[in-house]
A and B are shown apart, each in its own frame.
Chain A
Amino acid sequence: MAISDTQTKPLEFDNSLCAECGACVAVCAFDAIYLRGWGIKILDDECTLCGLCVLVCPTTALMENEA
């Protein structure tokens, strides 16, 4: 399942803000996030929604869905 920008997803990703820095990958303890193309891919089966990727993202490309 790929991440999409629907309102029901707990994590939001904005490709246009991603600088491909890799901080999210480095911080994920569940091997749930990868840099792919110019952006990221989240493996929903592995992701525990711990939120560390959102915490470390320098550009707010990764955000928690406030809804």
Chain B
Amino acid sequence: MGAGPAGSIAAYEIARAGFSVLLVEKHPVIGVPVCCGEAITHEGLTQVLPLDSRWVACDVSGVILVSPGGQTVDVTHPDAGYILDRKTLDHDLAQRAAEAGATVWVNTEAVGLDSDNGKTFDGVVLRREGKVLPIGCRIILGCDGIESLVGRWAGLNTIVSPEAMDSSAQYLLGNLKDLNPDKMVLYFSSKLAPGGYAWIFPKSTTTANVGLGLTPSLADGKSPVTRLDKFVARHFGSAAVLEKTAGGIPAFRGRKMMLRKNVLLAGDAARLVDSLTGAGIAHALLSGQYAGHTAAEYLREKEPKLSILKAYPDRFMKHKGRELRYALYARQIFMRMTDRDFDDVIGYLKPIYDGKTLYDVDSTAVIKSILRARPRLLALARHLIW
């Protein structure tokens, strides 16, 4: 359910293993709307897929961090990553699933799950072309993003609390002058983007995704779009707004959002997101792949045991659990930092990283070094809320 990166990769893996799979997408066009900053690291993409230049809008080679007071840290990392064209990526991944044998239905919405025996789910109920269609199946993959209704219908508490959400607005801006097409820019400020940050992700020499995410419980009534409008007016007065989009980004909830009975959740639906940066595409790709593999193993058995499916969260958590847990912890601190804290941290990072070229960045290690240098920040995480 859901033909985003997670769903399409999972469908591809299941079809490739020789099983009959239906990939369902409620929108009439796969890949639209793009509720995404479209940024991914080189590793995040290529750990699952061979790189295809069709998906790449811009090859970025570093990042510039900007403090509330305007101090900058400009770091070059030649293989940093890409700003993608999600429309093309999502389209291609669904096409790939279809070529492997998956049936793809767009404009088709899931409205519920069926369970005859009460032990496993044996069907989904779809709405397609005005008709309600019950479809029998042996396994269900919920890849329906932030809404995560499949998971909710399966009995998981997929509800996101406002502290665990990053509410974001983004514009694709065109006609940009003086845009640096090589670097992502991140603006930290508890006044501008409380519990989040503003970003410029270049997509060409004159276009960029410019967005702002924040934690709603800290927003003081001023919406992301209101703040983004002011930010854009200040920095990009003559820009053309070519696209307007928005997104809700959930914080990580551990392995418990990944599996219930014979329902597997992947990507944003399973809340597999870096809770500090909001990065989720790579985790959607990887979890979709693991979910597809594990589903195929289950389908291979004539009388499958549900315990086979535990390999899915096991595999993914072994690979990414530590990184995602640490990002969640870092978010707790990040959410409570003041402008003075941001100025201080950027001031700490500047002499170490400004103007430097790095080839290997372990973001967890960088965060740890910040906390070692500024141990009073650890006190901000004293009361973990969830």
Contact = CB atoms under 8 A, between A and B. Distances in A.
Contacts of A42: none
Given A21-B247, A55-B162, A56-B162, A26 B146 contact: yes
B250 interface: yes
B33 interface: yes
B309 interface: no
B228 to A, nearest CB: 9
A19 B146 contact: no
B216 A56 contact: yes
A55 B147 contact: no
Interface residues on B, range: 20 to 34
Interface string A25-66: 111110100010000000000000000100111111000000
A58 B169 contact: yes
B167 interface: yes
Interface residues of A, number: 21
Contacts of B26: 35
Nearest to A17: B225
Given A19-B33, A21-B146, A56-B167, A26 B248 contact: yes
Contact of A59 (B145, B148, B169, B217): B169
A27 B162 contact: yes
Contact of B165 (A20, A27, A59): A27
Given A19-B33, A25-B147, A59 B246 contact: yes
Interface of B: 26, 33, 35, 145-149, 152, 158-162, 165, 167-169, 216-217, 219, 223-226, 244-248, 250
Interface of A: 17, 19-29, 31, 35, 52, 55-60
